[in-house]
Amino acid sequence: MRAALLSAVLILAAALAAAQQPPSRRVALSGSMGSRALLVIDGGAPRAVAVGTTVQGVKLVSLNEAQAVVEIDGQRQTLRLGEAAVNLGGTASAGSGTEIALSSDANGHFQANGQINGRGVLFLVDTGATMVAMGQDEAERLGLSYKNGERIGLRTANGNTVGYRISLNTVRVGDVEVHNVAAVVQPQPMPFILLGNSFLTRFQMKRENDTLLLQRRY
């Protein structure tokens, strides 16, 4: 009797936990109307959304001619005009994947939406960067206590400066999650977070035409 009661309680607790999870959304950018993005949410009709406005739990962070940055539950994603809808929010998978496939942009660069410590970011693959690198403003948005890290000297296009070396609990791209990744935070703002070798060296990299394949080593 006690076992049956305990089982029923556990099932009820699991159901309540699942019900409390925020719903995931499928979001696509179908165009723009002046300063508003036309967002298609969960397959519905396009909604004209102004920067800073939230519709159905999806906040428009920024908009330019060909792409928009949206946020839901602290997770940011870049939407590009004409691309398929992406999933945002809800419960993430375990991150136990082993392979990442990235397509190059018109300039031959490889960009990837991902997460740092569970927060959405936009990466730019940079095999010349020793570590994952980001600007101070992005580190603050992610809630990183970078000033507790190791102070190091940095050489930048604007001259020598001081940055902070830290360790990121998790870095995730697609279904692949890597733990304890070294990173550097510099004072100047950066348009992307550089996905450097502290992440990339954990993968076997292979380029096939416009596709970069990353196969996890360990």
Length of the chain: 218
DSSP track, 165-178: EEEEEEEEETTEEE
Query: For residue 117, what pLDDT is reported?
Result: 92
Query: Can you list the pairs that 44-48 forms with residues at least 24 positions away whose Cβ atoms lie under 8 Å?
Result: none
CA torsion sign for 14, 20, 21, 25 is: positive
Range with the lowest mean pLDDT among 48-52, 82-86, 109-113?
82-86
The encoded tokens of residue 10 equal: 């556990």
Query: For residue 10, what pLDDT is reported?
Result: 41
Confidence check: pLDDT of 17 > 80:
no
Confidence check: pLDDT of 92 > 80:
no
pLDDT digits (tens, 9 = 90+) for 150-207: 999 988 767 788 999 999 999 998 778 999 999 999 998 888 899 999 999 999 999 8
Query: For residue 217, what pLDDT is reported?
Result: 86
- Sheet of 58-63, strand order: 54-55, 58-63, 67-72, 75-80
Distance CA 141, CA 135 (A): 10
Range with the lowest mean pLDDT among 10-14, 59-63, 155-159?
10-14
- Cα distances from 100 to residues 201, 203, 204, 206, in angstroms, run 13, 9, 10, 11
Confidence check: pLDDT of 13 > 60:
no
- Residue 102 pLDDT level (bands cut at 50, 70, 90): confident
The encoded tokens of residue 177 equal: 């999650």
Distance CA 197, CA 204 (A): 12
Query: For residue 42, what pLDDT is reported?
Result: 79
Nearest in space to 196 (alpha carbons), one of 181, 212, 176? 181
- 8 A C-beta contact, residue 59 and residue 72: yes
Average pLDDT in the 101-117 region?
Answer: 85
Judging by DSSP bridges, how do beta strands 99-103 and 86-88 pair with one another?
unpaired
- Residue 11 pLDDT level (bands cut at 50, 70, 90): very low
Query: For residue 97, what pLDDT is reported?
Result: 76
Confidence check: pLDDT of 120 > 60:
yes
Q: Say which residue, 75 or 117, is predicted with more confidence.
A: 117
Biggest alpha carbon–alpha carbon distance for the chain: 73
Q: Is 139 helix (H, G, I), strand (E, B) or coil?
A: helix
Q: Is 45 helix (H, G, I), strand (E, B) or coil?
A: coil
Q: Check: CATH 3.40.50.1700 for 99-216?
A: no
pLDDT digits (tens, 9 = 90+) for 74-91: 788 888 876 666 666 655
The full set of domain ranges for the chain reads 27-80, 99-216
Query: For residue 77, what pLDDT is reported?
Result: 85
Average pLDDT of the chain?
A: 82
- Cα distances from 44 to residues 25, 26, 27, 38, 84, in angstroms, run 11, 10, 10, 11, 14
